[in-house]
Structure 1
Amino acid sequence: MSGDPTTYGVRVWGVSKRVWPSGTTYRVRWLVGRKEWHDSFPTRAMADSFRSDLVSATRRGEPFSVATGRPMTWDRPAETPVSWYDHACAYVDMKWPHAAGKSRQGIADSLATVTPALLSSVKSRPGAEALRAALYGWSFNARRRASGPPDEVHRRAERWVAANTRPVRDLADPGVLRPALDALALRMDGKPAAASTVARKRAIFYNAVEYAVELGHLSGNPVASIKWRAPKVTEAVNPRVVINHGQARALLDAVRAQEPVGPRLVAFFGVMYYAALRPGEAVDLRKDALALPSKGWGELYLSTSAPSAGRSWSESGTRREPRQLKHRGMEEVRVVPSPPELTALLHQHLDDHGTAPDGRLFRGVRGGPLSESLYGRRWAVARAAALSAEEAASPLARRPYDLRHAAVSTWLNGGVPAPQVGAWAGHSVDVLLRVYAKCISGQDATVRRRVEDALRQGSS
């Protein structure tokens, strides 16, 4: 015990053999302070091992307990290994203050996917849906967990999983780690998940295990060394989603025709099509970010975005929480040109609809932040009205986000240098060319003519 008197005065003698009518034993004797201690073992190997441990303790300068005759470290209770569940909650708490709502949601989704694959027992296991609801909806949501226990159904599921997850150290065993990685590749219905989803979840799992290494629960990250292949991720934008300028105008007109809400959304979709804004950037666009002449080219100065993640994942309890631009630091600004068509749309919007009290250009029916459901419904109606039946059934501009893809594709095909397009869109050049490679059209004929010219010169 920690209050026992200790001493460094220790002497360890050699192993002695003792023969008894019942058999042979091997005794280890040692002196702690003024008191002699001894212990007997059925084999010399066991006795030698025990003596070696005593000698090693003296060489390390460990104090021995006068009351037990053992090194003090031997009397300490073994540390309880940290469970995967406790570590996952600690990881969520570490990430939560600095992560965006979408990132918090993604972390919870990934951990709720992998945790059922790291159970030490399946006896009395709750159903898959109840388990996921408890993990995703409460355990891996730092704000909800801090506010108190969940309802009784979630409480029972949470208690069970907390008591039945493996220690973190078990991840060093490939037989434990591989099923966890395999779980990341499946949806809840057992079907294969999209490659991009698998890649995102694996990255989060890797980071959570890396945090375990940082805390000393593991000596290294086993995810990095295991030979497990994730599905190949397709990053390139499908060129079939990209609309041309005529289709864009028809879609904006179809939005405008949807009274009374539609006219308020024309410029919202316009900034995505003409200036490649992300939906979260467009939702949080404010009047003081506009530098517009009466007509012609202007500029947008973007510094914030308000992506939608849901009330459960924000600090404020609102669906949207303004923060810095994606991949940018706080107060960093991205300047995007406003072509004459967009300048006209924005002036018309300001004249007809004004702004919210805080300067936001676009707002919901009651004046709050514009919701995805509102503009999503208007966009679906516009597609059905503006596109042919064949086009409407295709991926063409299926999501409002595809307007951003159309804008970037237009810039690239118009000959704007890739570094400039990347600066306007908020992409690195590498990502830009990788994602939009299949959307750059109109260059095949030029390249083929160059090949023909080279062949003719070689044959003359």
Structure 2
Amino acid sequence: MKSQDVRIWEIRRNKSSKRPSYEVRWKVAGKSFSKTFRTKALADSHRSSLVKASRAGESFDTETGLPDSMTEAPPSLTWYEFARKYLAMKWPHAAPNSRDSMNETLTLVTTVLLEKKPGRPTDVVLRKALRGWAFVHCSTGEEPERPAEIANALAWVEKASMRLTELKRPAIMRGVLDALTLKLDGSHASPETVRRKRAVLSNVLRYAVEVGELTENPVSAVQWKPPKIAKEIDRRVVVNPDQARELLTALTYVGLYKRARGRRMVALFACMYFGGLRPAEAVGLRIQDCELPERGWGRLNLHRTRPTVGKRWTGNGAVHDHRGLKNRSEDEVRPVPIPPHLVRMLRRHVKEFGTADDGRLFCNERGGVIGSSSYSRTWEDARALALTPEQFASPLAGTPYDLRHAALSSWLNAGVDSAEVAERAGNSVEVLLTRYAKCLDGRQEIANRRIEELLGGEPAEEPDEEEEEDGSG
């Protein structure tokens, strides 16, 4: 407890000891305290500090008898110690992808905040130790035995890690922020990657303030601006309807004589284009979530996703996470109407390939979840078949996610109400209007043609002077 009820007495000489000593006595909230010094000068200095704090209106601790200004601060944790403490707090409640991002950022910052001490491990070993061991939380509380190389590397990190309070120095903080902008090879990271890592770092430092390790977030003391993030989708990645159909057709030829790899995924990619689904939503789609009538429009009732994240981050040994929809509560459902063409494709897919044991429409030949690396390779093969060499070398439909971009852009450009598009896509209206409205491939040509028609077409060619003279004779 704290109190401002303080009484301080004059210094008293202690004559009972062989050597003279001097005692400072005071009370805090009626509780007596004293401290003995060998010289009167030391005692007078201590008493003066108490009096000064009392006159300044400081509160005194009823346990130690001292004001805050005279309380010795506990030794600051090292960055490495605090980062591990933060990880243990955050890990159980974080999604697998968030765990991966947190691990990556803590590893990077730790390598920056190391003092020059002998015995430093190689960069490869250092990163392996931090990324694979130090910043992976064990839910059972018992960490597996570390190989000697890893144990030695982490023992060195414990000794070489700077104190957390060193981040108060603007030069140190700026060095950390600058490191977020670079890849391992020294090239520039994407603005989105920088934003994500900076968000993790800011969260760590806010926690340090929350638990009293720092008095304020040191980021605020540095005039540093992150790279700007492009708000609009690159229109070069968005296919038009003809290109989308050609790509879906090309998928049927991928792996034609080997497990029908492409044909198994035609309907998967069609869900991204005709339904606007995110890849992880399409991968997790189950037959019991689908309304597929024989005629007319159908409906997909989305409520689970299966993103690929890796065994290290899920905590249960599974490669894929099993979670609710992005930016929605755990059990919220998003209904998505789908056109008759997609309904027919899904019905054909189920008839030809069946479903997995848990009802998933899309699975590999063993019934497992289709991984992002698998469907990404298949998509790249389809691009090589469907696109011209110039288009293949361009960003056009460079990733499966670009099919979703094309879907939302097409809906908006067709005049569908933005609120309805937002509801189907699981985005906000603001995101749609900011990112998607200008993306449809070929939209400029349509606009140019309409402007040309408005202006009355090409102007008539004027005859040259010689033709005019010849005609006058």
User: Matched residues in 1 for 2:109 and 2:365: separation?
Assistant: 40
Q: 1:30 aligns to what?
A: 24
Post-superposition Cα deviations, 1:82-125, rounded to whole Å, max 9, x if no partner, equal 22112212222222222221111111111111111222444322
Q: Superposition pairs for residues 174-253 of structure 1, below 5 Å?
A: 174-253=170-249
Post-superposition Cα deviations, 1:109-151, rounded to whole Å, max 9, x if no partner, equal 1111111122244432222222111111111111388532432
Q: 2:327 aligns to what?
A: 327
Change (3 A) 1:447 1:52: farther
Post-superposition Cα deviations, 1:334-355, rounded to whole Å, max 9, x if no partner, equal 1111111111110101111111
Change (3 A) 1:348 1:48: same
User: Matched residues in 1 for 2:387 and 2:96: separation?
Assistant: 34
Deviation of 1:196 after TM superposition, in Å, equals: 1.2
Partner amino acid, structure 1, of 2:321: E
2:3 paired with 1:11: no
User: Matched residues in 1 for 2:180 and 2:34: separation?
Assistant: 59
Contact 1:324 1:332 in 2 (8 A): yes
Post-superposition Cα deviations, 1:220-245, rounded to whole Å, max 9, x if no partner, equal 21213421111111132111111111
Q: Superposition pairs for residues 49-448 of structure 1, below 5 Å?
A: 49-55=45-51, 60=60, 62=62, 79-143=74-138, 146-258=142-254, 259=256, 260-439=260-439, 441=443
Q: 2:471 aligns to what?
A: none
Match of 1:305, SS?
coil
User: Matched residues in 1 for 2:361 and 2:237: separation?
Assistant: 27
Deviation of 1:74 after TM superposition, in Å, equals: 12
Contact 1:297 1:343 in 2 (8 A): yes
In structure 1, list runs of 5 or more residues that go unmatched.
1-7, 16-26, 65-69, 453-460
TM-score, normalised to structure 2, is 0.81
Partner amino acid, structure 1, of 2:320: R
Match of 2:10, SS?
strand
TM-score, normalised to structure 1, is 0.84
Deviation of 1:153 after TM superposition, in Å, equals: 1.7
User: Matched residues in 1 for 2:233 and 2:68: separation?
Assistant: 60
Post-superposition Cα deviations, 1:26-52, rounded to whole Å, max 9, x if no partner, equal x965358899944437xx7x7754222
Q: 2:467 aligns to what?
A: none
Partner amino acid, structure 2, of 1:216: G
Match of 1:324, SS?
coil
Contact 1:305 1:322 in 2 (8 A): yes
Change (3 A) 1:111 1:60: closer
Q: Kindly tell me the number of residue pairs found equivalent between the two proteins.
A: 425
Match of 1:299, SS?
strand
Contact 2:412 2:437 in 1 (8 A): no
User: Matched residues in 2 for 1:295 and 1:153: separation?
Assistant: 64
User: Matched residues in 2 for 1:278 and 1:410: separation?
Assistant: 16
Partner amino acid, structure 1, of 2:129: A
Change (3 A) 1:303 1:36: closer
User: Matched residues in 2 for 1:351 and 1:37: separation?
Assistant: 91
Deviation of 1:448 after TM superposition, in Å, equals: 7.6
Change (3 A) 1:415 1:48: farther
Deviation of 1:56 after TM superposition, in Å, equals: 6.6
User: Matched residues in 1 for 2:367 and 2:353: separation?
Assistant: 11
Change (3 A) 1:73 1:444: closer
Deviation of 1:62 after TM superposition, in Å, equals: 4.8
Partner amino acid, structure 1, of 2:213: H
Change (3 A) 1:81 1:447: farther
In structure 2, list runs of 5 or more residues that go unmatched.
1-5, 14-20, 27-31, 456-473
User: Matched residues in 2 for 1:393 and 1:61: separation?
Assistant: 70
Deviation of 1:167 after TM superposition, in Å, equals: 2.1
User: Matched residues in 2 for 1:35 and 1:330: separation?
Assistant: 59
Contact 1:28 1:51 in 2 (8 A): no
Partner amino acid, structure 2, of 1:207: N
Contact 2:409 2:437 in 1 (8 A): no
Match of 2:215, SS?
coil
